[in-house]
Amino acid sequence: MSESIENNSVEIETVDSDIVNRTRELAADAQRVVVKAGTNSLTDGASNLDTSRIDKLVGDVVGLLEQDKQVILVSSGAVGAGKGQLGFSNETIEESQALSTIGQSQIMRCYTESFDRYDQTVAQILLTENDFEDPDRFTNFTNTIETLLEWGVIPVINENDAVATEELRIGDNDMLSSSVAIGVDADLLITLTDVGGVYTDNPKENLEAERIEAVGSNYAEVQQLIDDSSTASFGGIQTKVTGARSVSEHGIPAVIAKFTEPDVLAKIGTSKAVGTIFVPTNGLSNNAETTQNDV
Ligand code: GLU
């Protein structure tokens, strides 16, 4: 590691390029991929579901299926779609919960219609964090996922906002998608955002903010940068970084990338440099000489 990039307060080391390249190859080789899309990526300015954006995501996902990969989609947007449907701005958690129950069926209608263009069947799964902690519920969840994937069906997962509020309060499904990736033994987590990666500052406000290409051995510095920036709007990046780091600590690479980037999933599927990639902290399984010390 010889290079670094700086923001006002923290110097971020650049991860060794060999490790970055090998992580990109690992990501490209992934067989089971969890793809997460957030509300801002799926809705328009009036909080209506944007069918052209959903069609873009669905086209990208179908591209992965054509590479014989399994895809599990984690989709936010239920509250947003509910807001758009009622033309109502939510102020309380209870209102968000109720709106999510209206918007969730709209989301599934959009995904069903969009995937129909490819004769691809989808299934809805609504989860809470408790479902990962209770062994019986967890087994039931993984049995359902395995059966759907065996049938070639795409599970579309959201938090069950009617009975849980974790993601409504803080997460935008970033922690849920991380738990799903770990729980189903995924080979890759891709978090699609309107920001497009981890930057040295909020790129929506600071045009000089630089993209951090990879997070690995520099994690402590990246975390420091994000903690320092947490009072300012930082593009909702905190939970995305926490979620991606959590899967990388389970040996799973993760990528945070821009939803609107053309062929974004195909690029990741062919080892291209996209967004910010998180290096698994327990070594790269395809190249065993990389060890914990490397990341
Ligand atoms: N489960 C929530 C939803 O689908 C995620 C939180 C959010 O995106 O605001 O709306």
**pLDDT of the residue at 17:** 95
Say whether pLDDT at 119 is over 50: yes
The whole-angstrom separation of Cα 157 and Cα 261 is 23
Hey, which of 76, 239, 259 would you mutate to test ligand 1's pocket, going by the most ligand atoms within 8 Å of its Cβ? 76
Q: How far is CA 103 from the centre of its chain?
A: 20
Say whether pLDDT at 15 is over 90: yes
**pLDDT of the residue at 255:** 98
The three-state secondary structure class of 182 is helix
Enter the tokens of residue 86: 């009622």
CA 228 to ligand 1 center in whole angstroms? 26
- The arithmetic mean of pLDDT across residues 85-113, rounded, is 94
Q: How far is CA 11 from the centre of its chain?
A: 26
Hey, which of 85, 161, 240 would you mutate to test ligand 1's pocket, going by the most ligand atoms within 8 Å of its Cβ? 161
Residue reference for tokens 């920036």 = 229
Residues flanking ligand 1, CB < 6 Å: 38-39, 76-80, 100, 158-159, 161, 167-168, 172-173
Report the CATH superfamily, name and number, of domain 4-278: Acetylglutamate kinase-like (3.40.1160.10)
The whole-angstrom separation of Cα 75 and Cα 122 is 12
Contacts of 219 (CB under 8 A, 6+ apart): 245
**pLDDT of the residue at 232:** 45
Confidence of residue 234 (pLDDT cuts 50, 70, 90): very low
- For residues 281, 68, 273 and 233, what is the CA-based torsion angle, rounded to 10 degrees? -70
**pLDDT of the residue at 284:** 52
CA 97 to ligand 1 center in whole angstroms? 9
pTM here is: 0.92
The whole-angstrom separation of Cα 48 and Cα 34 is 24
Which atom from ligand 1 is nearest to the alpha carbon of 107? Answer: 4
CA 293 to ligand 1 center in whole angstroms? 37
Packed helices 174-183 and 237-248: angle between N→C axes, nearest 10 degrees:
10
**Mean pLDDT, the chain, whole residue set:** 90
**pLDDT of the residue at 2:** 43
The whole-angstrom separation of Cα 44 and Cα 34 is 24
Following DSSP, what letter does each residue of 76-113 receive, concatenated? Answer: --HHHHHHHHHT----SHHHHHHHHHHHHHHHHHHHHH
Q: If 0-12 CB within 10 Å is exposed, 13-18 middle and 19+ buried, where does residue 183 land?
A: middle
Contact 19, 279 (CB under 8 A): yes
Over the stretch 259-290, which tens digit does the pLDDT of each residue have?
999 999 999 999 999 999 999 997 554 333 34
Hey, which of 91, 173, 179 would you mutate to test ligand 1's pocket, going by the most ligand atoms within 8 Å of its Cβ? 173
**pLDDT of the residue at 294:** 42
C-alpha pair distances (Å), 156 with each of 43, 58, 92, 210: 17, 11, 26, 33
**pLDDT of the residue at 9:** 59
Cβ atoms within 10 A of the Cβ of 140, count?
12
CA 213 to ligand 1 center in whole angstroms? 27
Over the stretch 161-214, which tens digit does the pLDDT of each residue have?
999 887 787 767 999 999 999 999 999 999 999 888 999 988 888 888 899 999
**pLDDT of the residue at 102:** 96
**pLDDT of the residue at 89:** 83
**So where are the chain's domains?**
4-278
**pLDDT of the residue at 227:** 82
Nearest CA-CA partner of 176 in 36, 30, 31, 33:
36
Over the stretch 37-52, which tens digit does the pLDDT of each residue have?
999 999 998 999 999 9
Contacts of 116 (CB under 8 A, 6+ apart): none
**pLDDT of the residue at 263:** 97
Q: Which has more confidence, 46 or 9?
A: 46
